[in-house]
Structures are given as structure tokens and as C-alpha cells.
């Protein structure tokens, strides 16, 4: 069976849809959200395209967790935030704005200019504890659902299923 035998859904599989996004920022942090009392997201591994990390920081306590999609703990997230968490904070600031992210996380920036660096500094200054990575599976499955929407042809008609989700602007 050659390529000609591929069905429509095989040709439009997730792997093929992701590839063109790589040169953009999405390739580094394909998914980030403020939800369930956490800043959480999915961060690509810098070295292995088959691996992603699921990172999270809780609101209020700034407890951090980072593990791979196969539930292996991230070696960099021991005693402090790893690069994945730093990348996620940066991307969240791009997506939501530093003030909204700080407000959601209940992070007091004092007089600092609100940006990803001051946010990360302020959280680290509280010596945040390591959190548990129980949420990783949930975050990852939300990411996969989110990816499924990339497979639709662009259209302006409303997607009834999406009405279950609040608009991202209403998050904080």
C-alpha cells in the first residue's frame, strides 16, 4: 500500500499538522493556559522532537511541577524552576499579558516592571516548593484535544463544541 491508500484522517494526522508550525513560537510552547488554579502548559524538548514536557506552577504557592509526557520527572526541575517552566511563563506573558498572569497566580510584582523576568524572579524569591505532577495527564489530554482543532479547515462558522469553553479573555 502506498501513500495513495491513506485515508483522509491519516493524511491529516496530528504529526503532519504540527510540522509547519515549528518555525514559529508555537513550536517551543505549543500549549499554555491559566486553568484549575495553575499556569500550565506543554513545552517541547529542545533536543528530542518526540518528547514534550508538561509544566505547571500553582497560583498563590507557586509550587512547580515538570514531567515528560511519559510521566518521567524533569531533571531540571529539582529545587528550582527548570527551563521549561521559564519558557512557559514567557509564553503565557505573550499570550495573556504579564499583569493578567501575575493576577491569576496571585504574584505580587511590587514596583517591578511586569514582564516574564520579573514574574519569574518574584515567584522564585518565595522559594517555591516542588508540587506534584498529578495534573500532568489532564494537562496533556487537554493539549491533545486542543490540537484536534488545528485539523479543521479554517472557517468562520461557530463550532458548537467550543461553546463549552470560556473565551480565553475571561480567564483572569
Site of grid cell 493578567? 100
Whether 62 and 77 have beta carbons less than 8 Å apart is answered as: no
Q: Which residue has the cell 511541577?
A: 65
Q: Element (H or E) spanning 148, and its range?
A: helix 136-148
Of 74 and 105, CB closest to Zn ion = 74
Does the footprint of Zn ion cover residue 136 (CB under 5 A)?
A: no
Please state the closest distance from residue 65 (CB atom) to Zn ion, in A. 9
Question: Residues 32, 35, 77, 102: which binds Zn ion (CB under 5 A)?
Answer: 77
Q: In whole angstroms, how close is the CB of 40 to Zn ion at the nearest point? A: 13
Which of 30-38, 50-58, 86-94, 134-142 is the region at the interface with Zn ion (rule: CB under 5 A)?
50-58
In sequence order, which residues have a C-beta less than 8 Å from that of residue 136 and are 6 or more positions away? 54, 56, 65, 67, 69, 71
52 lines the binding site for Zn ion (CB under 5 A): no
Q: How far apart are the first and last CA of the chain?
A: 51
User: Cα(77)–Cα(55) distance, rounded to whole angstroms?
Assistant: 10
Each residue 82-101 as x (binds Zn ion by CB under 5 A) or -, in order, gives: x-x-----------------
In the bound state with Zn ion, the residue whose beta carbon lies nearer, of 37 and 76, is 76
Within 13 Å, how many C-alpha atoms sit on residue 88's CB side?
27
Size of the site for Zn ion (CB under 5 A): 7
Q: Is 74 in the site for Zn ion (CB under 5 A)?
A: yes
Query: Residue numbers of the site for Zn ion (CB under 5 A)?
Result: 53, 66, 74, 76-77, 82, 84
Amino acid at each position: 500500500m502506498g501513500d495513495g491508500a491513506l485515508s483522509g484522517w491519516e493524511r491529516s494526522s496530528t504529526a503532519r499538522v504540527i510540522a509547519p508550525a515549528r518555525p514559529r513560537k508555537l513550536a517551543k510552547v505549543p500549549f499554555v493556559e491559566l486553568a484549575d488554579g495553575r499556569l500550565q502548559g506543554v513545552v517541547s524538548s529542545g533536543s528530542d522532537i518526540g518528547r514534550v514536557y508538561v509544566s505547571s506552577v500553582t497560583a498563590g504557592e507557586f509550587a512547580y511541577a515538570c514531567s515528560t509526557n511519559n510521566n518521567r520527572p524533569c531533571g531540571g526541575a529539582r529545587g528550582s524552576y527548570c527551563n521549561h517552566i521559564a519558557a512557559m511563563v514567557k509564553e503565557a506573558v505573550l499570550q495573556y499579558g504579564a499583569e493578567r498572569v501575575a493576577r491569576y497566580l496571585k504574584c505580587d510584582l511590587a514596583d517591578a516592571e511586569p514582564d516574564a523576568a520579573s514574574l519569574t524572579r518574584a515567584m522564585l524569591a518565595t522559594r517555591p516548593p516542588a508540587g506534584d505532577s498529578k495534573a500532568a495527564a489532564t494537562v496533556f489530554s487537554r493539549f491533545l484535544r486542543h490540537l484536534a482543532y488545528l485539523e479543521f479547515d479554517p472557517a468562520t462558522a461557530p463550532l458548537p463544541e467550543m461553546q463549552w469553553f470560556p473565551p480565553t479573555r475571561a480567564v483572569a
